[in-house]
Amino acid sequence: MDRNRIALAVTFVVTILSLLVGLINLASSTSSSKLTKVDGGSGFGTDRLGAALIRIEGEIHSGSSSYESAGAQTILEQLRAVEDDSNMVGVLIEINSPGGSVGASQEIYKEIMYLRKEKNKKVVVSMKDIAASGGYYIASAADKIYALGGTLTGSIGVIAIAPNIKGLLDRYGVKVRTFKEGKYKDSLSLFRDNTAEEDAMIQKMLSDTYEEFVEDVAKGRNQTVKFVEALAEGRVYSGQDAFRNKLVDDIGGRREALAELSKLCNYEGTLPLYEEETNPWDKFFQLLQAKSGGIFGGEKAILQELKRSPVLVLYPQAMAW
């Protein structure tokens, strides 16, 4: 009898959850995104004109944004929605991110540059607690950058980390057999040391990416590569130090950044600031995913710590445990 009751209870819970997920997906697919006014709007300008607010919060990665991370696909969709909207004359990007994957950061950087150069939209960045490495990479594409005095920024550098547990396995007599087709297929393996040739190959990849990082920052900031190189190599700066070294343009928060954006857009007063309205079902579902991740597995703590490191990280396949 007890077993039947348990089975019935489990079936009921699964049915309710399935129904809830179905409703969430239905609401998400049928609702259209809207822009909601969140700030600004004073002065003599017409409220038909405004600026879009885009937030980049958490680790930067490919795909869609989650409750606590910034997905390049989501950010790109928001930027592209501004491209042909004549009422949106500028973009205010708020960054609070330690960085993330190279490709995702580069995609967002290039889209901002396109928005500025090809679509004649003005872009200002407002840095929050941290805008380092990938976060700074993206910020460097803007017309102007504002940081708070205590913002952690800079960290122009690239890193790839692959743990090696060969010594531990050898100690306990554990053998791992690897079958591969391709000489370098298991480079950065957990279970063996790299060869000198493989180390050189990985270092070349990092060097190429680092060189592109520096060149892109120089282009975005209208500086020479030599100027950026002198401030790079992974160095981190406070907002005040970044201002002294011309990595950011001024000290301030949203108020100051929005005032500068209004000025760049030749708007008398303060531009109305609009943000894409998030479907409440999406918020609920993302929060549910974030909460359940700690219960039902998710990423290992060491990998989470590496992702929080203020550097632009390359994630080799060997790290996808």
Question: How many CA atoms does the CB half-sphere of 28 hold within 13 Å?
Answer: 12
Output the average pLDDT for the chain. 81
Nearest CA among 234, 198, 226 for reference residue 316: 198
The DSSP output letter for 66 is B
Q: Give phi and psi for 47, each to the nearest 5.
A: -75, 0
Residue 222's CB is within 10 A of a number of other CB atoms, namely 8
What is d(CA 82, CA 90) in angstroms, rounded to the nearest whole number?
8
Task: Please say whether the beta carbons of 51 and 264 come within 8 A.
Answer: no
Q: H-helix or E-strand containing 256?
A: helix 254-264
Percentage of the chain with pLDDT > 90? 51
Predicted confidence band of residue 7 (pLDDT cuts 50, 70, 90): low
Residue 156 has pLDDT above 80, yes or no: yes
**Residue 280: per-residue pLDDT:** 54
Start-end ranges of CATH 3.90.226.10 in the chain? 33-155+235-297
**Enclosing H/E stretch for 147:** strand 144-147
Phi, psi of 51 (to 5 degrees): -125, 150
Distance separating alpha carbons of residues 184 and 222, to the nearest angstrom: 39
Amino acid letter, 154 = G
pLDDT beyond 80 at 314: no
Predicted confidence at residue 20, as pLDDT, reads 64
Q: What is the mean pLDDT of residues 112-133?
A: 96
Please tell me the predicted confidence (pLDDT) of residue 287: 53
The fold for domain 33-155+235-297 equals: 2-enoyl-CoA Hydratase; Chain A, domain 1 (3.90.226)
pTM > 0.85: yes or no:
no
List 105, 133, 140, 262, catalytic entry: 133
Q: Is 133 a catalytic residue?
A: yes
Q: Which of 119, 185, 204, 300 is catalytic?
A: 185
Q: What is the pLDDT averaged over residues 55-75?
A: 90
Told to judge if 64 belongs to the known catalytic residues of this protein, a careful annotator would answer no
Q: How far is CA 137 from CA 51, 100, 149, 195, 199, in A?
A: 22, 10, 19, 32, 26
- Most confident by average pLDDT, 58-72, 80-94, 167-181, 268-282: 80-94
- Phi and psi torsions of 290, nearest 5°: -65, -40
